[in-house]
Structure 1
Amino acid sequence: MTYPDAFISLQLVLHIILSCILSFAVAQNPVDAYAPTVNVNCSETPNSLVRTFTPQNQVLNTSETEYITSRESYVISNAWSNWLGNASDIGYSLENLEGEFPRIGIAIGGEGYRTAQYGAAVLSGLDWRNTTARNGGTGGLLQVASYLSASSGGSWLLGSLLMNDWPSIEELVYGNGGNLSSWMLDLDLIVPSSALVSDSNDQEYWGSILASVESKANSGLPTSVTDLWGRMISYHFLNETTQGNFYTNQTSHGAGQLWSQMPLLPSFQNYTMPFPIVTADSRPASSGITTIVPLNSTVYEITPFEFGSWDPGLSAMLPLKFAGTYLTNGLPVNQSACITGFDQASFIMGTSSSFFNAVLNVTDGDFGFDTSDGDEGGMNFIFNQLLSHTPSNVMNAANWPNPFKGVSSVTFQDSSADQLELLDGGSNLEKTPLSSLLVNARGLDVVVVIDGSADDQNYWPNGTSLLTTFERISSVLSSSHQPMPPIPGTAAQFVSTGVNMRPTFFGCNLTQGQPAYPIIIYLPNAPPLDGSAPATNTGDTQFSYTSLFTAVFINQAFENTLGGFEPNTTSSDPLWGQCLQCAAIDRAVTLRSDFCSQCFTQYCYNPNDPPSESELPGRQFVFVDPDPGGLQKVEEWLTDNKGALAGFIVAIIVAIAGIVGFM
């Protein structure tokens, strides 16, 4: 697999990167704050650092319970009043609903830059702070939500929101002229300055990232390609980075920002934000799985307080501040053997989006790309060098020292392993982290699913994520999680009913005697209602967007969030905002109002009388570049050389990781 002849050979790339490393090793850099602190006193010992439970006696972390209780008491009750007024517009009296408000969660799926932007646009459409959304009736749902879960590209959005202290989406994405400089989506995630690897700015960027990862490796902890990936993400989504200092080490570029320090943020202390959860899949240690991981493989969650899993096979949690510590039966080797600072925000965002198991095939020593230009041998050579220099590390997954060794030895897949191998949160096809919100102990009544998956040939969702959650709940999590409401049985039925192309409510008609499932408000990425050219169905590996492209993308998704749909027309629904309010409040009412009943007739999925995709006429499904002047030539080249570029990017990352391991 070769890059165009105009570019420098991969051997020269290695020489350039190595020189860059050496130059950065001369002095201590701010980016070295990425290194964890070792040999820390374990204050909780001799008691176990790990809390365990069973599906039948689940108990939330006491700090999570306190946060949810306080947010619902001091923030959410007022937010409902702001959003619904006196609720007369939807046929209710808010006064009669006081103290009975439903508990709501929002799940943001992920697949790279596309889903980060899609999630941002939808959240903006649900945010009371956005005047347009507030006037449309949708703005306010975000403020009444108790939980916000995310995975993969959605975790980039969530991490950016949290570490920037919960600004509005407009400030976060475009900057505010002050402490927020904007997302750096116009700078490529891998090669931000230019495609020429000899570019001095790219060298500075890579060298800075290498310095961070090297500082972690020098502490004795395992590193992998995921560490490099997470540091790249931090430059584009966390604070401390601007257009002016992007290629310098004037700041730490997010290094040293810890997930467990989130409770120190003013917006967290004021209970302003929903309680955040990031999820990641795993594969059995040393299995080397490079395909879709099985549904019974452990799924982990990371909150500001804990790391662990509610899956029945494990049912255990560790205080997040001690993540990175090797434990056996919940205990370290000695009282001063704990580790802190492992829970770097960038590493958590990288872990949740670590897709390298599908790209770097450890078992076969093959990159898994279609290579027609004869350069695969060189790439395999570099990868084999990487493995020879770091024989104890798994390089195509996120390495987490196993704190659950010895726990649940009969049912936990990694009870005897020293390391956990964590992967992208969609590695089992559950691309939207819905199941983390269905944990029995959390007791949610409503879940909003923001699905930006690219499932079909035009990169639109077809319900695969919901179908996967439904199957996983039924086959693996039935004892620990709430059941799912009725949904279409296959991806083909999602498409034929049209519910993959418009907002839909699932689980509207819960009857007595049925298992108590929540209402699911499904908000899939879809073409513009009016039939204009779509710009939100981009590929997973598009790693740069011009400012104009981002503006068009977010505006389209925002308009869809506010639009609802009018059956058999290309018009938006002027009553959609009120219908969304009906779904959000429905679990708190005993008798549905006439207005809300009409809304549910239009938006609810009835498995006995399913809708039809024919109700959504005039849509365009094929992507049209909204900024051809900025990216058209690049896009044309990418189309012609997709395999070559993919291999080139992976080769750079692997080469970087190999050198880190060697040093």
Structure 2
Amino acid sequence: MLSALDDRTLNSTQEGHLGGLLQGATYIAGISGGSWTLMSLILSDFMPLVKLRHEWDMFEPLLEGIPNLAQIEVSRADIQVLPAGLHEAGEDFYQKLNNIDKRDQSEDYFEGFAYDDVFEAFYSSLELLSDLDADEDENYIGNDSNGSESQDQGEVTEAVAEVVIIGPDVEEDPVYLEGILAEHSDNISLEELLKQAEPADALQKRAEEQIWAESVKTFFKDVFKKKEEPKVTAQNILPGIQFSKNLSLKNMRKIFSFYKSLHLEVCSKKAAGYPVSFTDYWGRALSRRVFPKNSRSPNITFSGITNLTSFSQYQQPFPIIISNLREPGLEKTSVNSSLFEFTPYEFGSFNFSMFCDLRYLGTLLNEGEPLFHINNRSICHRNFDNAGFITGTSSSLFNNVLIYVWQLAASSSKQKSQAIRAVLNTFGLTSSQNSDDPKKHPDYALYSPNPFFHYGDPTNKELYLSKNLYMVDGGEDGQNIPYQPFMQAARQVDVILSIDSTADIKGWPNGTIIQNTYLRYNATGHSGTTVTVNGMIKSINLFPDIPDPEEFVDKGLNKRPVFFGCHLEKYHHRDELPKARGVNSFLPPIIGYFGNTEYSYPSNTSTFKLTYGNEEINKLMENAYNIVTTGNSTTDEDYPRCVGCILIKREFDRKARSMSILNDMEIPDFCNQCYSRYCYN
């Protein structure tokens, strides 16, 4: 849909089209799957969408070995605790993997990263099944589509976290403090911490040697070695998945090589002392498939885009990525959820009115100040804001893939499902929960340490008291469209153009998502704004009235462009009296809504369809183009001019309240006709 608004798209500026609106936008936000396109766009230095799509590897699955899945209707609550009978059949096996950390240290196992329970169990699970076909070439080393093994090795060393010392008249000098964050101890002294410090070159070299010596040894030992055991097939290893008949075990090695490469890339974060989660791996997988080819290495940060030409010269809209804060064990709704946003400069939430410098996310802070200092110089960490990790945080679809695997485990036989169950156990899907231990919640994106620890309002316990922040998919609270960032007075947004690709009914949206945001702003506790309506001061909601899904579908609002909130007098008036006799200069933005619909092609593909052919991509893009332009204005030749009328409606509203410089202008009759045609209320 963005290509329809991009004036660099062929013919997009001709009569009946909307090319140029993207260039005229001040902000652009992405949430869940939408964050993929947004991050790819900004990392490409604002490359034209029609060109950028050729940078995506959509012919390869996002996750090697995972098939295209239908929509999954299982919630996180359904899988957080394994059923009691799930591990009864193999108690010894289950118990062995449930106590990985308690193994005899004399055993020859993954010594360098013994704390990495997830992959330790993964490799062990493969051993407990049968190893790969003994007839295959034992010296085979798989390559993914992203490049050679040597390229992966180089990327790992570039991603080692950096620590900088900041103080008066001091440049940011890199120092590496291994394990500081892993300790999280209130008792360790500064002297003891400084003893852990090593010169950058020494630690980097040691980390590199440790990662490769142990990772490669373990991987080839547990995955690629020969064994005199019965042959197995891909179908044996993952029962229930319909593999292609020509999937050879050599291709299976390619799959394992893909995950090995992800693992090696994530290891540098682990070596720096940070806990890792599924989202780290998911983020690396996304980077390999949907990021521009020159932006796929682990050292690409979100804050780094400020150095791009298109950003520094204001040629691209200001990007915002949305995620949700989630306290383990507590369910949140669209009304009371806590939304966080990432921008190239900050990470934080308007819900709490707190933000921190994105460059130093990952720094151990207390009461808003760095906990460690050297000669009055603060010790801060950098490079935590990995672009893939942030994208993965907003779109934690990996968690839903695990739901699919959980379903397989629940329905498989004892012998075939033991490994799946064991791996799920290491992923935190067990009967025991501990909100203080980030290892117990690896299905969340872990932001540890919490930059807002002991900062702000003490009554906000999930933020004030928690040493870790648990972030989830930005749409998990039922708000798949990121409206909140643009409802802030400081941003002075007049119009929001939103795209709804939610699968509410048979893969199509029905307005539930936009109504959820309306209910949020209509609820007690969410502030409104004060405006004049017919000469009287009124307190109104920030979000316009939205019909319920039944009316939404009956009126066909999900199948054509519609704009909500054009007329301020139609907003919901609050019962409360205005706190001040004055009015706010900020007028709530008009909401433009474009629902995914079949205009020229059935675009209701599953969220979990992970591969697309070139012809299908072309048809999907053409359909989206037609949705935004109503088929190049074939249904209404006045449509582009009507959109223009809506874009300047708020300026006319300000003029009517003597807040505009356009005091000599009146709303044209043509625009009033457009408002009647395209504005819901």
The normalised TM-score by structure 2 is 0.62
Cross-structure match for 2:627: 560
Q: Secondary structure at the match of 1:508?
A: coil
C-alpha displacement at 1:519, in angstroms?
A: 1.0
Output the amino acid matched with 2:625: F
Match 2:3 to one of 104, 115, 124: 124
Counterpart position of 2:340: 300
2:350 paired with 1:310: yes
Secondary structure at 2:464 match in 1: coil
Alignment partner of 2:299 out of 252, 256, 259: 256
Q: Does 1:237 align with 2:285?
A: no
Please state how far the C-alpha of 1:596 moved relative to its aligned partner.
1.6
Higher relative contact order (CA 8 A, sep 6+): 1
Instruction: Write the distance in 1 (CA, Å) between the matches of 2:293 and 2:398.
Output: 27
Separation in structure 1 between the aligned mates of residue 407 and residue 285 of structure 2, nearest angstrom: 23
- Work out the CA distance in 1 between the residues paired with 2:642 and 2:256: 52
Partner of 1:418: 467
Return closer, same or farther for 1:507/1:295 CA change in 2, 3 Å cut-off. Answer: closer
1:273–1:527 CA distance, 2 compared to 1 (3 A): same
Matches within 5 A, 1:569-580: 572-580=635-643
Moved more, 192-201 or 519-528: 192-201
1:516-559 deviations in Å (ceiling 9; x for gaps) = 3221111111111xxx5x33110110000011111111111112
Match of 2:551 in 1: 493
Q: Is the 8 A contact 1:310 1:480 kept in 2?
A: no
Between the two proteins, the alignment pairs up a number of residues equal to 451
| C-alpha distance after superposition, 1:122-160 (max 9, x if no partner) | 111111222422112411211221111111111110100
Residue pairs, 1:20-419, within 5 angstroms = 122-135=1-14, 136-174=16-54, 182-191=55-64, 196=247, 198-199=250-251, 200-240=253-293, 253-284=296-327, 287-288=328-329, 293=333, 295-311=335-351, 314-335=352-373, 336-355=378-397, 367=406, 371-374=410-413, 376-387=417-428, 392-393=438-439, 394-401=441-448, 402-407=450-455, 408-419=457-468
In structure 1, what is the Cα distance between the partners aligned to 2:605 and 2:593?
20
The letter for the 2-side match of 1:379 is: I
User: 1:300 offset after TM fit, Å?
Assistant: 0.5
Q: Kindly tell me: are residues 376 and 349 of structure 1, through their superposed partners in 2, closer, same or farther at Cα, counting changes over 3 Å? A: same
Q: Separation in 1 of the partners of 2:498 and 2:569?
A: 23
Answer yes or no: is the 8 Å Cα contact 2:334–2:516 preserved in 1.
no
Partners of 1:592 and 1:203 lie apart in 2 by 63
Q: Distance in 2 between matches of 1:255 and 1:476?
A: 43
- Residue 358 of structure 1: how far off its partner (Å): 5.6
**1:24-43 CA distances to partner (integer Å, 9 max, x unpaired)?**
xxxxxxxxxxxxxxxxxxxx
The answer to whether the 8 A contact 2:514-2:546 is kept is no
Q: Is the 8 A contact 1:137 1:578 kept in 2?
A: no
Is 1:487–1:605's contact at 8 Å kept on the other side of the alignment? no
Change (3 A) 1:580 1:328: same
Deviation at 1:586, TM superposition (A): 1.7
- Residue in 2 that maps onto 1:605: 680
Mapped to 1, the partners of 2:591 and 2:38 lie a distance apart of 20
Contact 1:165 1:267 in 2 (8 A): yes
Measured in 1, the distance between the counterparts of 2:381 and 2:42 equals 23
**Cα deviation 1:52-100 (Å, max 9, x = unaligned):** xxxxxxxxxxxxxxxxxxxxxxxxxxxxxxxxxxxxxxxxxxxxxxxxx
Aligned residues of 2:326 and 2:332 also touching (Cα < 8 A): no
The separation in 2 between residues aligned to 1:282 and 1:198, in whole angstroms, is: 41
- Pairwise CA RMSD: 2.8
- Give the 3 Å change call, closer, same or farther, for CA 535–281 of structure 1 in structure 2: same
**SS of alignment partner, residue 365 of structure 2:** coil
1:467 touches 1:490 (CA, 8 Å); kept in 2? yes
With the length of structure 1 as denominator, give the TM-score of the two structures.
0.64
What are the equivalent positions in structure 2 for 1:590-629 lying under 5 Å apart? 590=655, 591-606=666-681
**2:60 partner amino acid:** L
For residues 585-619 of structure 1, the C-alpha deviation after alignment (integer angstroms, 9 at most, x for no partner) is: 2222353212222222221103xxxxxxxxxxxxx
Larger gyration radius, structure 1 or structure 2: 2
Q: Secondary structure at the match of 1:495?
A: helix
Contact 1:439/1:480 (8 A) holds in 2:
no
Is the contact between residue 281 and residue 422 of structure 1 (CA under 8 Å) also seen in structure 2?
yes
- CA 1:165–1:565: 2 relative to 1, 3 Å: closer
Shift of 1:455: 1.1
Provide the residue aligned with 2:69 in structure 1: none
Cα distance between partner residues in 1 of 2:297 and 2:495: 34
CA contact (8 A) 1:280 1:423 kept: yes
**8 Å CA contact 1:296, 1:476 repeated in 2:** no
Q: Secondary structure at the match of 1:299?
A: strand
Moved more, 575-584 or 588-597: 588-597
What pairs up with 1:509-548 in 2 under 5 angstroms?
A: 509-511=567-569, 516-528=587-599, 532=600, 534-548=601-615
Aligned residue type for 1:190: L
- On the 8 A contact 1:292/1:429 being kept in 2, the answer is no
- Change in Cα spacing, 1:353 to 1:539, as seen in structure 2 (3 Å) is same
Amino acid at match of 1:599: C
Distance verdict in 2 for CA 1:512–1:156, change over 3 Å: closer
Instruction: Give the Cα separation in 1 of the matches to 2:386 and 2:358.
Output: 11
CA distance in 2, matches of 1:208, 1:356: 17
CA contact (8 A) 1:306 1:320 kept: yes
Cα offset, 1:359, TM superposition: 6.3
The DSSP-based 3-state class of the residue aligned with 1:300 is strand
Q: Secondary structure at the match of 1:479?
A: coil
- 472 and 358 in structure 1: CA distance in 2 versus 1, 3 angstrom threshold: farther
Within 1, Cα distance between the matches of 2:262 and 2:390?
Answer: 16
Question: In structure 2, what residue type is equivalent to 1:305?
Answer: Y
Alignment partners' CA distance in 2, 1:294 and 1:473: 10
In structure 2, distance between residues paired with 1:477 and 1:124: 38
* Equivalent position amino acid for 2:63 in 1: I
Matched, 1:582 2:676: no
* Letter matched to residue 155 of structure 1: S
Q: Aligned partners of 1:540, 1:432: CA distance in 2, in Å?
A: 15
**One-letter amino acid of the structure 2 residue matched with residue 124 of structure 1:** S
Deviation at 1:255, TM superposition (A): 1.5
User: How far is the alpha carbon of 1:240 from its aligned partner?
Assistant: 2.8
After alignment, is 337-346 or 352-361 more displaced? Answer: 352-361
What amino acid does structure 2 have at the position aligned with 1:405?
A: F
Q: Helix, strand or coil for the counterpart of 2:625?
A: helix
SS of 1:578 mapped into structure 2: helix
In the TM superposition, residue 288 of structure 1 has moved relative to its aligned partner by: 3.7
User: Deviation digits for residues 267-319 of structure 1, max 9, x if unmatched?
Assistant: 011100111110101211xx245x665632321000000000000xx210000
Identical residues among aligned pairs (%)? 33
**Quick one: structure 1 residues 433 and 213, their matched pair in 2 at CA, closer, same or farther if it must change by over 3 Å?**
same
Unpaired segments of 5 or more residues in structure 1? Answer: 1-121, 175-181, 242-251, 607-663
Unaligned ranges ≥5, structure 2: 66-143, 145-242, 530-539, 574-583, 656-665
Aligned amino acid, residue 522 of structure 1: Y
3-state SS of paired residue (1:427): coil
The aligned residue for residue 132 of structure 2 is none
